[in-house]
A = this chain, B = another copy of it.
Amino acid sequence: MIRVTVWNEYVHELNEPDVAAVHPNGIHATLAAFLSKEEDFAVRTCTLHDPEHGLTEEVLEDTDVLVWWGHMSHGRVADAVVDRVYKHIQGGMGLIALHSAHHSKIFKKLMGTSCNLRWRHGDRCRVWVVKPNHPIAAGVEETFSLPQEEMYGEPFDVPNPDDVVFMSWFSGGEVFRSGCTWTRGNGKIFHFQPGHELYPSYFEKNVQQVIKNAIRWAKPITKGVWIPVHEVAPLENIEQAINDEE
């Protein structure tokens, strides 16, 4: 079983009827609904409003892959929680950063850049598979259209990705590396652009397939960093050799 924790700030849905109409129980519930149908996933959800935002040491210790959606309330996420999530990612927990999570504290802390991008509401979006044999592209159509999405455009200020799996086209003239992977410590990270709160992208079958694939790809191989921080003894004894040369 892959232990999946879906985190959502859950603010738009409570305050904006238009968003609530799309995600009546919150974006986290929309995500959990299709993820829970997978036999190898054990899914829990939590939000900004839970104590410690639901991301206690116990929950993170029990999480293989964390899915993150946040937008207008990045600043309300406690730094102590961000540091805890960061530590777990270094130790091997996977992170799936969805849509505006590109500007979350945790994603920016992992990237070491501003993660800025161009943006605009209400464009048509077309997603392309760029690396068809990547595990995250398995079973995804070579291209699919999202009739309404928020435009995210280049330059996307992130470090060179390990792999660019998807790229997006927008009707207003922009392009975007819309599905990218990185490694930080032992943790695997994937950012995926679709998912503005007003549009039903998380109900689209290809989008769902990408997120399921990404979770399976990001599950840890090993958990726990074993790089020693203390001085280590030599493994090869070549003192005599050094003397020989002198």
Complex contacts, A235 vs chain B, CB 8 Å: 126, 143, 145, 172-174
9 A-B pairs with least C-beta separation: A172-B234, A173-B236, A173-B235, A133-B186, A238-B241, A116-B227, A110-B112, A240-B240, A241-B241
B229 A134 Cβ-Cβ under 8 A: no
CB distance from A181 to the nearest CB of B (A): 10
CB distance from A153 to the nearest CB of B (A): 7
Asked if A113 lies at the interface with its beta carbon under 8 angstroms from chain B, I say: yes
Within 117-144 of A, Cβ neighbours of B (below 8 Å) are at: 117-121, 123-124, 126, 128-135, 137-138, 142-143
Enumerate 21 A-B pairs (CB-CB under 8 Å) in ascending A order. A114-B185, A116-B227, A118-B227, A126-B235, A126-B236, A128-B155, A128-B174, A130-B154, A130-B156, A132-B155, A132-B222, A133-B185, A133-B186, A133-B222, A135-B221, A137-B221, A159-B184, A172-B234, A172-B235, A238-B241, A239-B241
Q: How far apart are the CA atoms of A133 and B186 in the complex, in Å?
A: 5
A138 to B, closest residue via Cβ:
B221
A227 to B, closest residue via Cβ:
B116
Partner of A237, one of B117, B118, B133, B245: B245
A155 B126 Cβ-Cβ under 8 A: no
CB distance from A99 to the nearest CB of B (A): 16
Q: How far apart are the CA atoms of A172 and B245 in the complex, in Å?
A: 13
Q: How far apart are the CA atoms of A135 and B110 in the complex, in Å?
A: 21
**Contacts A221-B137, A232-B120, A236-B241; A157 near B185 (Cβ below 8 A):** yes
Complex contacts, A118 vs chain B, CB 8 Å: 227-228, 232
Asked if A49 lies at the interface with its beta carbon under 8 angstroms from chain B, I say: no
Digitize A24-36: 1 where CB-to-B-CB distance is under 8 Å, 0 elsewhere: 0000000000000
Asked if A169 lies at the interface with its beta carbon under 8 angstroms from chain B, I say: yes
Complex contacts, A245 vs chain B, CB 8 Å: 237
**Contacts A133-B222, A182-B159; A171 near B138 (Cβ below 8 A):** no
